[in-house]
Structure 1
Amino acid sequence: MFQWQQSQERLNRQAGLLQGERLTFHVHYWGVSRHLVANPVHKHSFFEICYVEGGTGIYTEGDREYSLHEGVLFCSRPGVVHQIRDVNELDLLYVAFEPDEKQSDPAELSSYLDALGQGEVWMDNQSSSPVAGLWRSLLVPESYAGALPAGVLPALAHSLLASFPDMFGVASRSNRPPVRTDSSFLVQRTKQYIRDNLAGDLSQQQVARLLNVSERHLSRLFAENIMESYTTTVRNERIRAAEELLIRTGTPIKEIAEQVGFSSVHYFTRSFTQKKGMPPAAYREANWRHADQLPSEPIRFR
């Protein structure tokens, strides 16, 4: 079994703000409760998802009653009056959270909320499901041996919360065609290659050849996975790198343009101004607060 109290304290300490590329979650609290007691009728302004590790009880929403026993996964939605009652040694894992609207992609946020808001409330026979296994992996074993390092908890916790729509809301997910997992990995590999080779040849033809895919397929992967074109991604990554160099170093703007892969300082200035709303020099001046904090050596991008 688990170190119940220590597991709960560790999750609440380490996994509060869960940031991802397209979805960020604010966790109000984690619960790892041994022999949970019954609670009064109440409601939340956020999602609360629970997994029954052992024991029994009844979960109610209005006039509906759902049996609680080992392997049950259930979802309390925002604004829905509910209660847990008639408990008998109920062991419960739960997390109360809401997606962060400001830090999440609007389309992904809408899809996530629709899936959970309109999906199933109660699911049985989940003891061997990936969700249950992932949830247990966040906990501290009773013997302490094999506990995952605290540093990996945020990423794993984010994966857990991001997986809930696939469990509860399969029928109500976006009509967008499912994207294959290997496609997502290929896009991430491509983005990492772009970041590592900003000053090199990042033409779509060259990168597609390196990845052993066609240019058309590469374009489709980016459109389906991150909703932007390959060329837009390259430009955004170059601007992102330039932004960091402008803020954190005293490297001349002409050198920055070369380091991040722009063909000329004029093209760099025009692209940066379009993206950030001001020229590079003005952006640097606006963001420099303490010149003495600049690193002695400029950051270099390969």
Structure 2
Amino acid sequence: MDKFISGKIALNEYIQRTRSNGVSFYIHYWGVMPQHYNNLPHKHSFFEVCYVLEGRGTYIDQGCTYQIEENTMFLSRPEVLHQIKSDTGLFLLYVGFELDESESSEKWVTIIEEAKQCSEVVIDVKEDEAAPLMWKSLLIQAEKSESALFEEILSNLAHSLILLLIQNFVVTSNYHNQKSVQKKSSLILTLAKLYIKDNLSNSIKLTDTATHLHLSSRHLSRLFKSELGISYSEYVQNVRIQRAATLLKATDLSIRDIAQETGFPDVHYFTRVFTASMRSSPGRFRALYTKLKTVIYKD
């Protein structure tokens, strides 16, 4: 407790502003309150986030009453009437902040507007989650005022904490789940593309790539269709053709060797597919490209 209070004093002295990656915040205050009981209904012109370390009570926001206890976080939005009540006392960590719009990107102005309208103002967190751990670490680090790079470390920790707190309230569980699925699918597709590229001279059937990625063939096929708009086989054939075109332009390999290098079963099939796709036979494509590179000067 004493370390937290000492850390709070140092934070209020050194960290009144944070800035990084297109977003800047004013920090109005850092707070540590070991015994918080009741306060009167009031408003702020800025955001305030409180984290309950110990105790039980209620938080009233625009007439709605919420039960709060250990490991509860709650957000007070600008110009919203709110009140904290507790008969036994609450051990609170809290911070008041607002966006510096003049030094922040339009993206962040939009995010903060979303935060002002967010409906979930009270959330339960686990004490080993990033935001609670970082908050405590920040206060402990702030108490060590003699340490090397003191202000730089504090500023970076404080900025990251504010971002985490905003994320906790602005990013709804539904939005978070959608982004997670999107990122996971995109990663799978990236790995599939790498596998195809690195094994182009082989047959690389859909089942081979799916097995390599520990997926079902159906799931992988759906990913190619939904994210790229083409089938797995169409994608592989496009990669083969593009690779063949590169080899025709940049090397002296025979057409037979290029067909083999790009995974076509024989030179006749390669010639037919390449011609249909590029509107030119492999030999003519190479000849045309060679002519384009040649410049003849005449006196």
**What TM-score do the two structures reach when normalised by structure 1?**
0.53
- Does 1:84 find its partner at 2:45? no
**Aligned match of 2:23:** 23
Partner of 2:9: 9
Q: Which residue of 2 aligns with 1:48?
A: 48
Correspondence for 1:233: none
Would the aligned equivalents of 2:111 and 2:170 in 1 still touch at CA under 8 Å?
A: no
- State how many pairs are aligned: 182
* Partner SS state of residue 120, structure 2: coil
Conserved? CA contact 2:10–2:145, under 8 Å:
no
Counterpart in 2 of 1:166? 167
Structure 2 residue matching 1:49: 3-state secondary structure: strand
Answer whether contact 2:74 2:121 (CA < 8 A) is retained.
yes
From the CA coordinates, give the structure whose radius of gyration is larger.
Answer: 2
Q: Please say if residues 119 and 170 of structure 1, whose CA atoms lie closer than 8 Å, have aligned partners that are also in contact.
A: no
Whether the 8 Å CA contact 1:4–1:34 is kept in 2: the answer is no
Structure 1 counterpart of 2:241: none
> What displacement does 1:57 show?
1.7
Deviation at 1:85, TM superposition (A): 1.1
* Compared CA separation, residues 177 and 86, structure 1 to 2 (3 A): closer
Shift of 1:16: 0.6
The residue number in structure 1 matching 2:98 is 98
Shift of 1:97: 0.6
Contact 1:49 1:96 in 2 (8 A): yes
Q: 2:260 maps to what in 1?
A: none
Counterpart CA distance in 1 for 2:24 and 2:175 is: 18
Q: Which has the higher helix share?
A: 2
Q: How does 1:223-238 map to 2 (within 5 A)?
A: none
Deviation of 1:119 (Å): 4.4
Paired with 1:165 and 1:173, the residues of 2 have a C-alpha distance of 14
1:124 equivalent to 2:124? Answer yes
2:35–2:90 Cα contact (<8 Å) kept: yes
Closer/same/farther in 2, CA of residues 41 and 63 from structure 1, 3 Å limit: same
Residues 61-97 of structure 1, C-alpha deviations (whole Å, 9 max, x = no match)? 1331111211001100011100011242311001111
Identity of aligned residues (%): 33
Instruction: Call closer, same or farther: CA 1:137–1:129 in 2, change over 3 Å.
Output: same
Aligned counterparts of 2:40 and 2:151: Cα–Cα separation in 1: 34
Label 1:125 to 1:106 Cα distance change in 2 as closer, same or farther (>3 A): closer
Measured in 1, the distance between the counterparts of 2:161 and 2:55 equals: 23
Q: 3-state SS of the aligned residue for 2:44?
A: coil
Q: 2:240 matched to which residue of 1?
A: none
- Kept after mapping to 2: 8 A contact 1:56/1:88: yes
The answer to whether the 8 Å contact 1:53/1:93 transfers is yes
Between the aligned partners of 2:137 and 2:58, the Cα distance in structure 1 is 26
Shift of the alpha carbon at 1:14?
Answer: 1.5
Segments of 5+ residues of structure 2 without an aligned counterpart are 184-299
Task: Tell me, in whole angstroms, the C-alpha distance in 2 between the residues paired with 1:46 and 1:97.
Answer: 6
Aligned to 1:35: 35
1:108 alignment counterpart: 108
Whole-angstrom distance in 2 between the partners of 1:85 and 1:110:
32
* Contact 1:48 1:76 survives alignment (8 Å): yes
How is 1:1-302 mapped onto 2 (pairs within 5 angstroms)?
Answer: 1-115=1-115, 117-140=117-140, 149-171=150-172
The corresponding residue for 1:239 is: none
Provide TM-score, normalisation by structure 2: 0.54
Could you tell me which residue of structure 2 aligns to residue 241 of structure 1? none
> In structure 1, what residue type is equivalent to 2:25?
F
Structure 1 residue matching 2:79: 3-state secondary structure: coil
Once residues 17 and 125 of structure 1 are traced to their aligned partners in structure 2, the CA distance between those partners, rounded to angstroms, is 26
Could you tell me whether the CA contact under 8 Å between 1:11 and 1:30 is conserved in 2?
yes
Secondary structure of 2:139's partner? coil
**Which residue in the other structure is 2:242 paired with?**
none
Task: Identify if the C-alpha distance between structure 1 residues 122 and 43 changes in structure 2 by more than 3 Å, giving closer, same or farther.
Answer: same
CA gap of 1:147–1:53, structure 2 versus 1, over 3 A, is farther
Secondary structure at the counterpart of residue 6 of structure 1: helix
Amino acid in structure 2 at the alignment position of 1:152: I
Instruction: Give the AA of the match of 1:25.
Output: F
Question: Aligned partners of 1:30, 1:145: CA distance in 2, in Å?
Answer: 16
Q: Which amino acid aligns with 1:84?
A: I
Q: SS of the residue aligned with 1:30?
A: strand
